[in-house]
Structure 1
Amino acid sequence: MSESFFSVVDQLADIFWAGRIGFKAIAGLGIAQTYILMLMTARMGLDAGMRSMVARAIGARDIRYANHVVIQSITITFVWSLVVGGSGMIYADPLLRLIGIDEEVVALTSGYLKMQFLAMSLLSFQRLFGGALQAAGDSITPLKAITVSRVIHLSLTPFLIFGWWMFPSMGLAGAGVANVIAQIFAIALNLHALMSGRTDIKLKLSDYRIDMNLIWRILKVGIPAGITGMQRSLSQWALLFFVVTFGTGPAAAFALSRRAENIVNHASRGLGRASGTLAAQNLGAQLIGRAKSSMNWAIVYCSVLSLLAMIVFIGFPENVAKLFSDEAEFVSHTTVWILIMGLCAFPMSSVQVFTQGIASTGDTVAPMVITLTTMWAIEVPVAIALAFMTPLDSVGIAVGIGIGNLVRCVVFFIYVFSGKWLRPGIL
């Protein structure tokens, strides 16, 4: 959960410093982060496949199989990073123009997006190694790694953006460069722990061989989870096309509200992954009751997080907006978006717990079906209809997102308490 929280702090810090440049920089940064988040959530789905298989193997005490799964996941990650990260760096400018933003915003954001694609490739390895450690029961080392990397990122960012002290002035691209440097340190810490044998998993280069059958099994579990994770960011990307038609102010409000929402959502994803890992270990050991209990407690903790978010976002929406920019157009739009987000905090965060938790046990198809149907049959159409067929204008998109999450939350509750995801044994 702490790892997920730090990821959001990073995004908000980038937006904070972008606000010192102007609200157009906030809009551009939000669009760039939407692309990165869309790909990273898809990548996290593949990690969920690996994590569920490792956790179940650990629970069944099949350590050799757990190690083999991690080694094959490295091959998948290498191909992913090369294809997706490389393509993103080459086509960063066309991707920004695809949304319909003006050339000034493209110029501000281009270097940042290119560096973030490179950082995303490195982050894929960092999360792969960290997820393997967590599945083996070591959650401290990944936390140390992410803490070190985030401190480096947060410290370097303003120096590289504005050219403080002896550093070059790189504009928004400086935030991306800081992230690249930070990810290298995180990878080194997690990889050292995996190769030292501190947990049941111990990587050895001499054990490496490509096992296409196992790679396919990992993908078979992970691809549905990847599709599920991608839908949220993909829907935000789709809705951006409509938000930008109302102007740069609403686009900036959309960007900040999505990042602020992720403070709660990322923490909830962390709760979901943690509870799902525990559930997977217990299912591997044939302990179904304990597996179900871990999910129940995750929802209890999620409720507490949601309450805290509601207090801040409903009680002080204008103050939150002014933290990033005091330009009137930005503040007026963002205040309303943040208020609506606060009202929807519990449905949004509980959906993340269920999605990540169920997927981490190896049941990745049900979350995919629930997310796809509620996202594209309800959330996106309702948001567009409210924006263009009612006086709500751009605010209608925020309301539509909230309605979609409420429906999705109800469906997930029904599925979780049906117990259909509690399938014991090794995958």
Structure 2
Amino acid sequence: MNFSRYTKEFSYNLQLAYPVILGMLGHTAIGVVDNIMVGKLGTTELAAVSLGNTMVFIAMSLGIGFSTAITPIVGEADAENDQKKIRSAFHHGLILCTVLGVGLFMLVTLAKPILGMLHQPKDVIDLALPYLDWVAFSLVPLIIYQGYKQFADGLSHTKYSMYAIIGSNIIHVGLNYVLIYGIWIFPEMGIQGAALGTVISRIAMVVFMHFILRRNNDLRPHFNDFSFKKISKQKLQKIIDLGTPSALQMFFEVTLFTTAVWLCGNIGKSSQAANQIALSLATVTFMFAMGLSVTAMIRISNQKGMNDYKQLIVVARSIFLLAIIVEVIFAFLFVALHQVLPAMFLDMDDPAKFLTNAEAVSIAADLLIIAAIFQISDGIQVVVLGALRGLQDVKIPMYITFVAYWVIGFPISYVLGEYTSLKAVGVWMGLLAGLTAAALFLYLRFDKITKRLVRENPQPAEQTSIQ
């Protein structure tokens, strides 16, 4: 294999990816900051945040997954230089994201009683419920923000979301510090302070994103001529048809990780806290693959718009290779630092909490060994999904992810976690199995489609759509 044809694409891939990665890390940092600051309060508080966030993460997966439909439509239209199509995708997508954000907030609020049915410790549930009220509301500005972000990403303007996230995190850290611990004139709100900080920072994020995009001379025309009279059911339906399977793809993965939280909660508070620690660290490294996934979606949709499928394969494989290299590096770091990193999340100097905290850190260290391996599979599956979304091929990947995570991954997690001495480590072995299956079958799907497209279009010609 001639690797140089792929490695020469690395520079442009990274140029597009690094703002997305930093933006994704910013999203993750909001949760990590919450976990670190709340972890200082104790394992019960950390477990409560983990439990409350499970429902929000499920809803968030649907919203973010759905919004990804905007990027390939905009990216394809950009390659075709169809400004009218770009504007239409933006306006229709933003309306759908707003409606979805409000709907998801209401759904999570109505679903709160489910927490009481999950056999979690009562003291954890009592803390999680009021925390969930505020965090659920933050879904509204978050999903609206996604409408702006996916539009900008489709036009390869990936830096704007990075700026918005950085500003949001600065606000979030400051608010968390004063609201959690009760600094200066602010009341001591504990984990509810962390939730309120999340809400305010996400509102600031979407406001900033709106104004910074509108100030761009190239993007300003797309903010003009908005009218509900111009909203077309047909165009709404196209985004819905692409967005719904994409939302379910992300939903299937996130709910698998959510069940890991619940299963670890059944085992005990220390296992649940350890799961949250290891998951927070694994999520940080996963954001690098997510950034490359967005890059794949942008570049593949551009190549699809130009009908150059041979180059499309080269571009896609260059991104896949880059993702593997990055995740292997992180795998080595996780193995080398698996005893050190978990201790950052809990107060190891408090004698009263030392034994429970030490137990959580020990379990988290074991989970990081599993995470070192599964993040490679996780990185591969998410970048291949990005490429498939760029091709606007979403239905078959939806079925693939369901089988991988819920027919293969979950049963293994459940049996090993509930019925063997592996406990939390067994739960994560199921995650590894599901992610590996997804990576393999999604790549086979991509390979099959692109080979067919090359056969049907040996030279850049008229666009061929996925059936």
TM, length-normalised to structure 1: 0.93
Give distance in 1, aligned partners of 2:55 and 2:407.
22
1:338 is aligned to 2:338: no
| Deviation at residue 23 of structure 1 after TM alignment | 1.0
Partner of 2:288: 267
Q: Is the 8 A contact 1:26 1:256 kept in 2?
A: no
1:43 is aligned to 2:63: yes
| Deviation at residue 196 of structure 1 after TM alignment | 3.9
Q: Is the 8 A contact 1:160 1:171 kept in 2?
A: yes
Q: Which 5+ residue runs of structure 2 have no aligned equivalent?
A: 1-20, 349-356, 454-462
Partner of 2:402: 372
Which of the numbers 165, 181, 184 marks the counterpart of 1:165? 184
Q: 1:16-415 maps to which residues of 2 (within 5 A)? A: 16-92=36-112, 94-196=113-215, 198-200=217-219, 202-204=222-224, 206-209=226-229, 210-325=231-346, 326=348, 327-415=357-445
Give distance in 2, aligned partners of 1:425 and 1:163.
60
| Deviation at residue 90 of structure 1 after TM alignment | 5.0
| Deviation at residue 173 of structure 1 after TM alignment | 1.4
Q: Is the 8 A contact 2:260 2:428 kept in 1?
A: no
Instruction: Give percent identity, aligned residues only.
Output: 17
Q: Deviations over 1:224-245 (max 9, x none)?
A: 1110010011122334443222
Give distance in 2, aligned partners of 1:426 and 1:147.
38
| Deviation at residue 205 of structure 1 after TM alignment | 5.3
Range 323-332 or range 238-247, more displaced: 238-247
Q: Is the 8 A contact 2:67 2:97 kept in 1?
A: no
Q: Deviations over 1:255-312 (max 9, x none)?
A: 2222221112222112101221111012112122332233222222212321232122
Give distance in 2, aligned partners of 1:298 and 1:25.
40
Give distance in 2, aligned partners of 1:425 and 1:57.
15
| Deviation at residue 71 of structure 1 after TM alignment | 0.8
Range 123-132 or range 191-200, more displaced: 191-200
- The AA in structure 1 aligned to 2:324 is S
Range 410-419 or range 366-375, more displaced: 410-419
- The AA in structure 2 aligned to 1:348 is D
Q: Is the 8 A contact 1:56 1:281 kept in 2?
A: yes
CA distance 1:40–1:360, shift in 2 (3 Å) = farther
Range 261-270 or range 371-380, more displaced: 261-270
CA distance 1:119–1:205, shift in 2 (3 Å) = farther
Q: Is the 8 A contact 1:379 1:404 kept in 2?
A: yes
Q: Deviations over 1:106-149 (max 9, x none)?
A: 23222322221111210111111011011112112221111111
CA distance 1:106–1:245, shift in 2 (3 Å) = closer
Partner of 2:33: 13
Q: Is the 8 A contact 2:59 2:108 kept in 1?
A: no
- The AA in structure 1 aligned to 2:30 is D
- The AA in structure 2 aligned to 1:159 is V
Q: Is the 8 A contact 2:104 2:139 kept in 1?
A: no
Task: Tell me how many residue pairs correspond in the alignment.
Answer: 426
Give distance in 2, aligned partners of 1:50 and 1:387.
39
- The AA in structure 2 aligned to 1:266 is M
- The AA in structure 2 aligned to 1:121 is V
- The AA in structure 2 aligned to 1:261 is A
Partner of 1:417: 447
Larger radius of gyration: 2
CA distance 1:139–1:55, shift in 2 (3 Å) = same
Range 196-205 or range 181-190, more displaced: 196-205
- The AA in structure 2 aligned to 1:3 is G
Q: Deviations over 1:361-407 (max 9, x none)?
A: 31111321211111111111112222244332332111111122122
CA distance 1:206–1:49, shift in 2 (3 Å) = closer
Q: Is the 8 A contact 1:228 1:367 kept in 2?
A: yes
- The AA in structure 1 aligned to 2:236 is I
| Deviation at residue 332 of structure 1 after TM alignment | 2.1
Range 32-41 or range 202-211, more displaced: 202-211
**3-state SS, counterpart of residue 272 of structure 1:** helix
- The AA in structure 2 aligned to 1:247 is G
Give distance in 1, aligned partners of 2:152 and 2:252.
27
Give distance in 2, aligned partners of 1:127 and 1:206.
19
Give distance in 2, aligned partners of 1:185 and 1:388.
43
CA distance 1:231–1:78, shift in 2 (3 Å) = same
- The AA in structure 2 aligned to 1:402 is L
CA distance 1:121–1:361, shift in 2 (3 Å) = farther
Q: Is the 8 A contact 1:277 1:361 kept in 2?
A: no
Give distance in 1, aligned partners of 2:190 and 2:43.
14
Range 381-390 or range 218-227, more displaced: 381-390
- The AA in structure 2 aligned to 1:182 is S
- The AA in structure 2 aligned to 1:231 is F
Q: Is the 8 A contact 2:323 2:383 kept in 1?
A: yes
